[in-house]
Amino acid sequence: MPVPMSPPLHPGTKQPADPEFLSALFPMSLIMQEMSPERWIEIPEPVREIYRLWRPTPMFRAVRLEKALGTPAHIYYKYEGVSPAGSHKPNTAVAQAFYNKEAGTKALTTETGAGQWGSALSMACKFFGLDLEVYMVRVSYDSKPYRRYIMESFGAQVYPSPSTNTEYGRGVLAADPHSNGSLGIAISEAVIAAASSGGAKKYSLGSVLGHVLMHQTVIGLEALEQMEMAGEYPDMVIGCTGGGSNFAGFCYPFLHQNLTKGHKTRIIAVEPAACPSLTKGRFAYDYGDTAAMAPIVKMFTLGHTFMPPGIHAGGLRYHGMAPSLSALVDGGYIEARAVMQRPTFAAALEFAASEGILPAPEAAHAVRAAIDEALLCKRDNVKKVIAFNLCGHGHFDMAAYDAYHTGKLQDYEYPAAAVNEAMTHLPQVDFA
């Protein structure tokens, strides 16, 4: 890291969290990876053996899209939608299940929004013989059942959150029996379920944490070799950001080249205008969850009590952002921009019309930025090489496309008042 990292803090004492506190949630091997000073951590053979089901993932040059846009730019995309779950998420799900199995964990708990993370982790747990308890945001549990059926097919127990399993969930239900739930509430329930299990269960998170981002770097390491095969090197690399894992996985290996080999690749993070942590949030210590049970980390945040509007890229509705990515944006190593929903879906359809793949609504944010950059190249008549991460397909999110086609999808502006309110609830800590 070219910038210093601030340590995660214990949510109670607000002092640097010791490994003992974290070990109630994670196996020691993953805690050690979290802040490892090692440059390289080998991918274990049992993980590689499973990766071989879909890795290496293909990298395509979008020649037909370039022609359709009439741009001199060369556009490449790395396609993570070929994984069994249809996104990049199995890259870390498989690794986390492996390290937990190795440490003697019997069961994992986790949360899921629309079900992308839950379906990836349920497959990984099945492969390694671990039980899995998933807290699924209530509104998705009811309205998006197909990913729940996938999780159940792999043997996971799926509970709508808020649930009656935890005291916290029961409290939320007592206050509002018809609560829609939120990702923050579901994270709190999954954390509590693991922390109160007496060591039998550990917790697993699909984004944000350092070890998760590190597991995803297999994407960018492959992409570096694939660009070499293509005989080109990107002038810019682009990814969408929810918690930061697919973005970091694709872009950090290129950032490493910038820092060590003198490359000047622009690295661009794209987020929804309705949940703009990197472009409108504050770089400050905040809780990772709504119930203030999870570690406090320094990150770009909209406030842990902020409730993002119900945008269709559900995977991008987190109040915070990975601490390493936040520090790199703050340090000027990575650019960030926000895009509106409707132009994002328009870009997704433009991409599909040439390349035949309907992107996940999250991935469509990266497509929007890539097309915008390609159009700037056309205007200025310059040939640049643009590479982006197509982190998943949209086959389980077709209701979002229906909403776009039927004109029901709205553009949400930056919810300034709600964010300002949430900012008043940031924890007071003594660390800068």
Candidate residues 207, 258, 277, 290; the one interacting with ligand PLP per rule CB under 6 A: 207
362 binds ligand PLP (CB under 6 A): yes
The answer to whether residues 75 and 61 touch, using CB atoms and an 8 Å cutoff, is yes
Task: Tell me whether strands 131-137 and 107-112 are parallel, antiparallel or unpaired.
Answer: parallel
Return the residue of 8, 169, 234, 242 that touches ligand PLP, per CB under 6 A.
242
241 contributes a contact to ligand PLP by CB under 6 A: yes
* 320 within 8 A of 290, measured Cβ to Cβ: no
The residue within the footprint of ligand PLP, chosen from 8, 160, 210, 244 (CB under 6 A), is 244
Q: Considering only 34-42, 70-78, 236-244, 302-310, which stretch makes contact with ligand PLP by CB under 6 A?
A: 236-244
Q: Cβ 319 to ligand PLP, closest distance in Å? A: 13
What is the H or E stretch that residue 269 is in?
strand 266-272
The CB-of-347 to ligand PLP minimum distance in angstroms stands at: 15
Q: How far is the CB of 65 from ligand PLP (least distance, A)?
A: 19
In DSSP terms, 117 is beta-bridged to none
According to CB under 6 A, which residues from 298 to 317 bind ligand PLP?
315-316
CA distance 65 to 289: 40
One character per residue 80-99, x = contact with ligand PLP (rule: CB under 6 A) = -------x-x----------
Query: Which of 69/339 has CB closer to ligand PLP?
Result: 339
Residue at 285: amino acid letter? Y
Contact region with ligand PLP (CB under 6 A), list: 60-68, 140-148, 167-175, 245-253: 245-253
Told to check if 389 binds ligand PLP by CB under 6 A, we report: no
**Which listed range, 122-130, 183-191, 240-248, 368-376, lies at the site for ligand PLP (CB under 6 A)?**
240-248
Pairing label, strands 157-161, 131-137:
parallel
**Judged by CB under 6 A, which of 360, 369, 386, 409 binds ligand PLP?**
360
Q: What phi and psi values does residue 263 have, to the nearest 5 degrees?
A: -65, 160
Contact 320, 208 (CB under 8 A): yes
Report d(CA 222, CA 194) in Å as an integer.
34
DSSP letter (8 states) at residue 114: S
Q: Is the peptide bond before 56 cis (omega within 30 degrees of 0)?
A: yes
Q: Which residue number, 181 or 242, has a Cβ lying nearer to ligand PLP?
A: 242
Tokens of 297: 């980390």
| Nearest distance from C-beta of residue 270 to ligand PLP, angstroms | 10
Which range, of 12-20, 223-231, 242-250, 293-301, touches ligand PLP by CB under 6 A?
A: 242-250
DSSP-based three-state secondary structure for 350 = helix
Closest CA to 172 of 156, 160, 183, 185: 185
Beta bridge partners of 223: none
Helices (H) and strands (E) in the chain, counts: 19, 12
Q: Which of 235, 392, 409, 415 binds ligand PLP (CB under 6 A)?
A: 392
Q: Under the criterion CB under 6 A, does residue 246 sit at the interface with ligand PLP?
A: yes
Residue closer to ligand PLP (CB basis): 217 or 241: 241
The nearest distance, CB 79 to ligand PLP, in angstroms, is 11
Quick check: 344 binds ligand PLP (CB under 6 A)?
no
Closer to ligand PLP by Cβ: residue 141 or 168:
141
Q: List strands edge to edge, sheet with 131-137.
A: 157-161, 131-137, 107-112, 201-203
By the rule CB under 6 A, 267 interacts with ligand PLP: no
For residue 340, give every residue at least 6 positions away whose Cβ sits within 8 Å of its Cβ, in sequence order, or none.
272, 273, 411, 412
Judged by CB under 6 A, the stretch of 131-139, 175-183, 244-252, 400-408 that binds ligand PLP is: 244-252
Q: 156: closest CA among 126, 199, 127, 196?
A: 126
Q: Which residues contact 139 (CB under 8 A, 6 or more apart)?
A: 180, 181, 310
Number of residues near ligand PLP (by CB under 6 A): 20
Residue 184 lies near ligand PLP (rule: CB under 6 A): no
Nearer to ligand PLP, 168 or 318 (CB): 318
By the rule CB under 6 A, 116 interacts with ligand PLP: yes
Give CA–CA dist 316/240, Å, rounded. Answer: 8
Closest C-alpha to 338, from 430, 409, 269, 242? 269
**What residues between 12 and 51 interact with ligand PLP by CB under 6 A?**
none
Q: Does 391 bind ligand PLP (CB under 6 A)?
A: yes
- Minimal distance in Å, beta carbon 372 to ligand PLP? 19
Site membership for ligand PLP, residue 215 (CB under 6 A)? no
Measure the CA dihedral 341/347/353/359, to 10°: -60
The residues that touch ligand PLP, with contacts defined as CB under 6 A, are 87, 89, 116-117, 207, 240-247, 315-316, 360, 362-363, 391-392
